Structure 1
């Protein structure tokens, strides 16, 4: 029965522990800054995405996809993966250097997006103060191979531990660089247009200083959480003080978000998954 289906992961997984953290909103932005450094991945987004005209809509759709794979039933997660695979299969882009056409569902590109996203979720949660053992951190990467399979990757070809992710980054770093598209995207991520409900008052001449500054603070934290080598690609400095400042800021932000009411911190898919888990546990007890 679907009511008994706890999805790809379930309440005992490291994935549920990590994704129960509202601080992952910062992690998602960090992943986008990192992904932009891959020339082909960036070209694929720039040539096929409406992110500049529908930035917030795209963000909502991406968040909904991740929530479905983490908290949806197995059927819901597999259906979401199938839709994404069909979309990617129809898309192509042109290499900005060679002029060579390539498929968006190229395994190398899918792997880059997967690894940067998953590593961003894990590293941000840990630096924000989520207590995880090294074994749990490795377990999270291993569990996320199930999510990698949904987008069409062979799980065996996806890093399954912290050490394997570090080795993957070591291999791919020579391919990364700050292209014009990457720089423009980074600027866009740092100061995107406000959502409609916030942009309307601005057009009427009302002050929107606090929301704008709050977002800039989140974007600045996300950027500071990048690995030092990634910040250097953007022309920044990989200083230890930057690391310390980012850690302090993201820890404070996590405490702030944790104080919000549960209905604000947890989406409907997460709440539904927890209810299915509660009912499943109650059934075992009975």
Structure 2
């Protein structure tokens, strides 16, 4: 496996920064916090509870830059790693945790891989087995940009599937951090700053329903079960119709401006790749 960063020929570049992935909702973030050690680290050290959306925004940028940083991907990845050096402590049972434990760190990475695979197949198109294997191999390249031990990384796509099944069935729990992360599903979205409470009460109900639909719909059934989030068969039928509608509109997708189709980090990387090709020609 090469240590060269990912580039414009990779499927990961094509899809990870695609704005359709936002339709998945907070699947990866919630799933990360369902691993006890990771959830405890966020509980003990993060501003997640006081600045939830700001924390998510600050985390997403460096991850995207690790994927799309080209020759700077390794530097960016090691910076992301180093943010986690002091995230350590004691679990409720007395055992110790550290964010840079390879198994814990890999779990966070694996949730981003799962998020992308789910987003592509739900809102873009089915993936062939060869494409899934290719994306998985690319995820190993991406993980190496962090400079963390790869001892927890499954050898191949088949091994990853076994790993993922075990983690969902045996390792994840309804950690307090994960419950908090989906609390708005039942309690409603918090009012934005400077929006009067009376106005928010009038305009928030439809926004709350959309947030619930996107959030709970994008979760794995095992997550819904553990977090006790209601999801009926009627909900599932509506979600599948929504996903099918998005897929049907994908024929128009290439005609939209790149600023609509991709997040800023991806657009910057695409621009730099085009400029490099022009200089080389």
Structure-2-length-normalised TM-score: 0.81
2:190 is the alignment partner of 1:176: no
Q: Deviations over 1:147-192 (max 9, x none)?
A: 2223343446323655333211232232222244432333157745
Q: Deviations over 1:95-115 (max 9, x none)?
A: 12x122321211111111111
2:85 is the alignment partner of 1:94: no
Give the CA RMSD over aligned residues.
3.1
Counterpart residue number, 1:15: 12
Q: Distance in 2 between matches of 1:119 and 1:102?
A: 24
Quickly say closer, same or farther: Cα 1:235–1:48, change in 2 above 3 A. same
Deviates most, 136-145 or 32-41: 32-41
Counterpart residue number, 1:246: 239
Post-superposition shift, 1:211? Answer: 6.5
Q: Distance in 2 between matches of 1:64 and 1:127?
A: 24
State whether residues 17 and 64 of structure 2, in contact with CA within 8 Å, keep that contact through their aligned partners in structure 1.
no
Q: Distance in 2 between matches of 1:59 and 1:189?
A: 17
Quickly say closer, same or farther: Cα 1:225–1:266, change in 2 above 3 A. closer
Quickly say closer, same or farther: Cα 1:73–1:253, change in 2 above 3 A. same
2:143 is the alignment partner of 1:133: no
Quickly say closer, same or farther: Cα 1:15–1:215, change in 2 above 3 A. farther
Q: Please, which of 184, 196, 219 is the counterpart of residue 202 of structure 1? A: 196
Q: Please, which of 93, 99, 103 is the counterpart of residue 104 of structure 1? A: 99
Counterpart residue number, 1:84: 80
1:1-286 equivalence runs, <5 A: 8-27=5-24, 29-75=26-72, 77-96=73-92, 98-155=93-150, 157-159=152-154, 162-172=157-167, 173-188=169-184, 191-194=188-191, 198-203=192-197, 205-207=198-200, 213-214=206-207, 216-236=209-229, 243-252=236-245, 255=249, 258=253, 261-284=257-280, 286=281
Quickly say closer, same or farther: Cα 1:122–1:57, change in 2 above 3 A. same
Q: Distance in 2 between matches of 1:48 and 1:16?
A: 31
Post-superposition shift, 1:92? Answer: 0.8
State whether residues 111 and 158 of structure 1, in contact with CA within 8 Å, keep that contact through their aligned partners in structure 2.
yes
Post-superposition shift, 1:32? Answer: 1.8
State whether residues 63 and 77 of structure 2, in contact with CA within 8 Å, keep that contact through their aligned partners in structure 1.
no
Q: Deviations over 1:115-139 (max 9, x none)?
A: 1121112112211123532211221
Aligned residues: 273
Post-superposition shift, 1:253? Answer: 5.2
Q: Distance in 2 between matches of 1:207 and 1:11?
A: 43
State whether residues 115 and 165 of structure 1, in contact with CA within 8 Å, keep that contact through their aligned partners in structure 2.
no
State whether residues 102 and 151 of structure 2, in contact with CA within 8 Å, keep that contact through their aligned partners in structure 1.
no
Show structure 1 runs of 5+ residues with no match. 1-6
Q: Distance in 2 between matches of 1:73 and 1:105?
A: 24
Post-superposition shift, 1:42? Answer: 0.8
Q: Distance in 2 between matches of 1:164 and 1:211?
A: 44
Quickly say closer, same or farther: Cα 1:216–1:202, change in 2 above 3 A. farther
Q: Report the 3-state secondary structure (helix = DSSP H, G, I; strand = E; otherwise coil) of the residue aligned with 2:84.
A: helix
